[in-house]
Amino acid sequence: MPRLRGAARSKLAQRAEVVLDRKGIRLLNADVLSVGLEPSSVDLIVTSPPYGVDIKYATFADDLPYEAYLDFTRKWLSSCLGFLKSDGRLCLNLPLDKNKGGQQSVYSDVLQVAKTAGWKYFSTIIWNEQNISRRTAWGSWLSASAPYVIAPVEVVVLLYKGTWEKASKGESDVARDDFIAWTNGMWTFGGETRDLGHPAPFPIELPRRCITLFSYVGDTVLDPFAGSGSTLLACLETRRRGIGVEISKTYCDLIKKRLTQAHLFERRLDEAPGDPASDVQAGPSSSAHRTRSGGS
């Protein structure tokens, strides 16, 4: 994935730093391709990975050719598959397509890559982010010559490892009306402000819905591209155990600040036994790194 600037690569290769480990929430400054998590220990992954659209991050260059981007996607999807339990699930937030650097069918291409990596497909949620007002490119204005067609939506792809049905029973805390609304595959709510200090955050509402609908209270949820920390904040809110992996120390500091300021940290979780997958070690540094330090 994009190149790490300066000496960041060699420093990151040395260790996976535990930035925060408190009340069922664990934040690691590490590369998803080399972090060591206990195999078959995670119930649900919720993440928004790099999009490959040249976003200006604190530490990384988001400028890989598209085929290299898909190769990185295959690598991290393969790595994360090993962390999941046999009935584990993945909620993967992606753009439908992109036109920066040439038209590309991101959703379709990544889904095919996921299947070749061993993931099984269940369904897709359309997230209507309502961002059409930000549109600035029209192509051939008022002409059939070459108009641009832009869909103001993203998707949440639902994938799983072995079986979609949960192997064990637990406490579901989804409300009746939410269950009815969220099992309709069109979600409409706004995106997140960039004032958080991250160039591509996603709103807590997205992981909150995914976590509540697709996991039990006390389950372990992983975000391998923790970004601004939205998934970990949603874990706090929903009484799940959360593990966040973030390659940028700058964004780790941002996440730690957001988490420690959250009033939910003042309240103990109704804990299920055990800690998040705590057998963490840094593996060899990978030559591929992500374009986006998580949209989370």
Residue 27 lies in a domain: yes
Pick the residue with more confidence: 168 or 291?
A: 168
Q: What is the predicted pLDDT for the residue at 17?
A: 92
d(CA 246, CA 47): 11
Residue 287 lies in a domain: no
Task: Determine the distance from the C-alpha atom of residue 40 to the mean position of all C-alpha atoms in its chain, rounded to a whole number.
Answer: 18
- 270 in Cβ contact with 219 (< 8 Å): no
Domain that holds residue 226: 8-135+146-282
**Taking 90 as the threshold, does the pLDDT of residue 50 lie above it?**
no
4 pLDDT tier (thresholds 50, 70, 90): very low
**CATH number for the domain that contains residue 119:** 3.40.50.150
| Residue 122 one-letter amino acid | F
Residue 278, number of CB atoms within 10 A of its CB = 13
> What does the pLDDT average to over 56-67?
63
Pick the residue with more confidence: 136 or 252?
A: 252
Q: Are strands 220-223 and 241-246 parallel, antiparallel or unpaired?
A: parallel
> What does the pLDDT average to over 120-143?
84
**Taking 70 as the threshold, does the pLDDT of residue 57 lie above it?**
no
**Taking 90 as the threshold, does the pLDDT of residue 182 lie above it?**
yes
Q: What is the predicted pLDDT for the residue at 8?
A: 44
Residue 1 lies in a domain: no
Residue 293 lies in a domain: no
**Taking 70 as the threshold, does the pLDDT of residue 199 lie above it?**
no
Question: How many residues in total does the chain contain?
Answer: 296
Q: What is the predicted pLDDT for the residue at 136?
A: 72
Residue 38 lies in a domain: yes
65 pLDDT tier (thresholds 50, 70, 90): confident
Mean pLDDT of the chain: 82
Residue 141 lies in a domain: no
| Residue 284 one-letter amino acid | P
pTM, 2 dp: 0.84
Number of domains in the chain: 1
Range 57-91 burial, b when 16+ CB lie within 10 A, else e: bbbbebbbeeeebbebbbbbbbbbbebbbebbbbb
Angle made by CA atoms 127, 132, 134, in degrees to the nearest 5: 120
Q: Considering just the CA atoms, what is the radius of gyration of the chain in Å? A: 18
The closest alpha carbon to 113, from 89, 87, 94, 134, belongs to 94
Give the pLDDT confidence of 239-279 residue by residue, as tens digits: 999 999 999 999 999 999 989 887 666 654 444 444 555 55
Partnered with residue 115 across adjacent β-strands are none
Q: What is the predicted pLDDT for the residue at 288?
A: 33
d(CA 253, CA 107): 31
Residue 140 lies in a domain: no
Q: What is the predicted pLDDT for the residue at 190?
A: 79
Q: What is the predicted pLDDT for the residue at 150?
A: 81
**Taking 50 as the threshold, does the pLDDT of residue 125 lie above it?**
yes
- pLDDT > 70 in the chain, percent: 74
**Taking 70 as the threshold, does the pLDDT of residue 236 lie above it?**
yes
DSSP labels, 221-287: EEESS-TTSHHHHHHHHHT-EEEEEES-HHHHHHHHHHHHH-GGGGS---PPSS-S----EE-PPPS
Residue 54 lies in a domain: yes
Q: What is the predicted pLDDT for the residue at 265?
A: 64
